[in-house]
Amino acid sequence: MTNQLFKNSVLPFVVDAYDQSVYDSKIVFSTQDIGTAKLIFKLRKDGVPLPLSAVDVKLVLLFNNGSKNVRNITFVDKVEGIAEYVLDNNEIKLYGKVQASLNLYYRNGQALSIHEFTFEIQRNLIDQDIAPAAEFYIDDFQTLKAEIERKAVELETDIKKRTDDMQGNIDKITKELQEQLDRMKEKLDDLEALETKQGAQDKVDAALAAAKKYTDTRAETPAGAKDKVAAALEEAKEYVDPHLENKKIHVTESEKSNWNNGQLYRLTPNDGRVARIPNGTDIFKLPTGPYMGAQLLNAPVENDTSFYYVNVLETAYEQNEVVYKCIIATRSFDNITWIGTFHAQGFKGWDRVLSEKDLNSSWNQVTLVAGTTIKQFAGNPLKFSIRQNELLLRGSFEGVSVNDAVIARFTQKPLTKAVFVGATVGSYGSARFTLDTDGSLRFDGMSANDNSFVSRFEINESIPLW
């Protein structure tokens, strides 16, 4: 039996109140991904997998055509919080952006909204009807209305002209008939013997009535012409008025210009705020835009779970399959900022931006370890300062400690063990000290002309912390 083939799309969701914004998953399926479009959900809460025992998981799908499906999903590993869903043959054909929500319903009556997210189904070329089509666009309704009114006036003028022409023909026919009648009257005397005058008159009147009936049925009266013009205008209004009332179809030139010149790439959600990205997001894979998140991969400080503000500037230039970009990352709790760039050779590393605090740090008195024989020398106590990632020590302390004794502890820790010497006071010589990688300052021992005369020690040292 052969293994089934799927387009797997993994959605890692963290269950907390900070991850409820709609997540644009960037997942794109095709209408030809029949039986292969699979969504895989990996659910975590408080840093560990979310168990899926005694729970019903519902996936809500809202498609571009307005239809909504509520589906059960398949549990892959209940202990590890992994579940999946394969879009059915009807759903994969509903191309466009799909809005989705994953919800948990526990048997004890509790419920959790895990996350809302979106993905896209692209219409495959084989599913598209490609045929020539005529397009009609109305730039300005007033121009269309004026054109229709102009045509109506021309039509009315033409009908009136034709009516006048017909009326002229009627007058001409009537005149010719009258002339014939006059000629017939002149011959009445000659016809007297054969036909009475009244009989002839009746015949003439009948002929005239027949002629008028013929012309009246075929001639267009001015009133009839106006009725036709009014009917034409009414028919035009029935077509135009719905377009005028439909504000979604007709736009102005100014609106078209704004749309054509507008940015199509969204940098923020609809509320204009910076989007929080899910825990574990890789900074290097983010597109252009501002972001905020914690437990980020490839952060300036390795394994740092702090919140960072990240600004990504991705360019349209690519070399050696590397897209040039600049990333600025600021740690939220202490305002420390780093800059990193991708060049032709890849990522060039993080460089920390020095602040005024780094360049103008103050001197602080060292807290000596209690329970030893040493103490601060009042005339020049031992102090420290942090400048440009260096620990500066100056001053002195009294009393001689046993060898390898820790005399102070610093929160600033060097990457490697630092060994340095200080001067003995009371008898000429030197003392050896070690700042260990755990931040402890240790007295290793001394060598003087006469150790018994040594009363205190002087330190003036700069120790790099990187």
Alpha-carbon Rg for the chain, nearest whole angstrom, is: 48
Nearest to 80 by CA among 38, 40, 43: 43
Residue 394's beta-bridge partner residues?
Answer: 383, 460
Residue 83's beta-bridge partner residues?
Answer: 41, 75
Strand bridging mode 37-45 / 405-409? unpaired
Which residues 6+ apart lie within 8 Å of 153 measured at CB? none
Task: Give the per-residue pLDDT at 161.
Answer: 83
Helix (H) or strand (E) holding 164: helix 141-186
Task: Please give the angle made by the CA atoms of 7, 11 and 13, to the nearest 5 degrees.
Answer: 170
Contacts of 151-160 with C-beta under 8 Å, sequence gap 24+, read 152/229, 152/232, 152/233, 152/236, 155/229, 155/232, 156/225, 156/226, 156/229, 159/220, 159/225, 159/228, 159/229, 160/222, 160/225
Helix (H) or strand (E) holding 147: helix 141-186
Give the residue carrying structure tokens 């001394």: 446
Topology given in CATH for the domain delimited by 7-127 = Immunoglobulin-like (2.60.40)
Nearest to 246 by CA among 138, 154, 97, 374: 138
pLDDT in tens, the chain (466 residues): 456 788 888 888 888 766 667 888 899 999 999 999 999 999 888 889 989 888 899 999 999 999 999 999 999 999 998 999 999 999 999 999 999 999 989 888 888 777 899 999 999 888 876 443 333 333 445 566 676 778 788 888 888 888 788 877 788 888 887 887 777 777 665 655 455 556 667 776 777 777 667 666 655 566 766 777 777 777 777 766 776 676 666 667 887 787 777 767 778 888 889 989 999 999 999 999 999 999 999 999 999 999 999 999 999 999 998 999 999 999 998 899 999 999 999 999 999 888 877 777 789 999 999 877 899 999 999 999 988 788 999 999 998 888 999 999 999 899 999 999 999 999 999 999 999 999 999 999 999 999 999 999 999 999 998 7
Query: Sign of the C-alpha dihedral, residues 284, 285, 291, 297?
Result: negative
Query: Sign of the C-alpha dihedral, residues 291, 296, 298, 302?
Result: positive
Nearest to 459 by CA among 404, 395, 401, 408: 395
Which residues 6+ apart lie within 8 Å of 144 measured at CB? 138, 240
CA distances (Å), origin 105, targets 22, 23, 85, 330: 20, 21, 17, 39
Q: Is the pTM of this model over 0.85?
A: no
Task: Give the per-residue pLDDT at 199.
Answer: 66
Query: Is 80 in contact with 43 (CB distance < 8 Å)?
Result: no
Task: Give the per-residue pLDDT at 448.
Answer: 95
In 53-174, the DSSP E strands lie at: 55-62, 68-72, 74-77, 82-86, 96-106, 111-122
Query: Is 214 in contact with 206 (CB distance < 8 Å)?
Result: no
Nearest to 127 by CA among 87, 100, 102, 96: 96
Q: Which CATH class is domain 364-464?
A: mainly beta
Domain segments of the chain as ranges: 7-127, 141-245, 275-353, 364-464
Q: How far apart are the C-alpha atoms of 290 and 141, rounded to whole Å? A: 43
Task: Give the per-residue pLDDT at 134.
Answer: 35
Give the SS3 label for residue 161: helix
Which residues 6+ apart lie within 8 Å of 138 measured at CB? 144, 243, 250
Give the SS3 label for residue 279: coil
Q: How far apart are the C-alpha atoms of 43 and 79, rounded to whole Å? A: 10
Give yes or no on whether 7-127 and 364-464 have one common fold. Answer: yes
Task: Give the per-residue pLDDT at 214.
Answer: 64
Residue 56's beta-bridge partner residues?
Answer: 105
Which residues 6+ apart lie within 8 Å of 88 measured at CB? none
Amino acid of residue 434: T
Query: Is 465 in contact with 412 (CB distance < 8 Å)?
Result: yes
